[in-house]
Amino acid sequence: MTTQIFQVLAMPKHHQRDKGSPAASQRQLRVGELIRHALAEMLTRGDIHDPTIETHMITVPEVAMSPDLRLATVYVMPLGGRDAKPVIEALERNKKFLRGEIARRINLKFAPEIRFRFDERFDEAERIEKILRTPAVKRDLESGDGEQ
């Protein structure tokens, strides 16, 4: 486990979802990564016995921790981005079990409260990509090359 903690500490800081909040501390990032790994392991092993969760491949790209480490916002994404609402509802139904398992697997002073959110980064990236492929943007980018 110490190697895992070392790897997480060596990682660069992630970009924050809430642009008004200060940058996350190394401790917040480390605890978020440990929780993310624990949740991903539970999902992979099928430890959560819920029909909705068992029938979906779920990715946990990020866990954002509050500064006091008492709240973990878990960003999840079902494969292909489909059925996000039922998957999040199923995770919310199993929140008490998940919190207990996290507390058992990770040595923290307090087990954080967990909330689940749909990860919209992929949708946003796709929207930006579509905008960049429009003829008007292509024209502006091509005409801007010769000006500098």
Q: Is the pLDDT reported for residue 76 higher than 80? A: yes
Residue 92 lies inside a defined structural domain of this protein: yes
DSSP per-residue codes, 80-123: GGTTHHHHHHHHHHTHHHHHHHHHHHS--SSPPEEEEEE--HHH
Over the chain, what is the mean pLDDT?
81
Tell me what the mean pLDDT of segment 65-69 comes to: 93
The percent of residues above 70 in pLDDT, for the chain, comes to 82
Tell me what the mean pLDDT of segment 112-132 comes to: 85
Residue 73 lies inside a defined structural domain of this protein: yes
Range of the domain at 113: 2-13+21-120
Q: Which pLDDT score is estimated for 145?
A: 57
Q: Which pLDDT score is estimated for 11?
A: 38
* CATH code (residue 66): 3.30.300.20
Total structural domains within the chain:
1
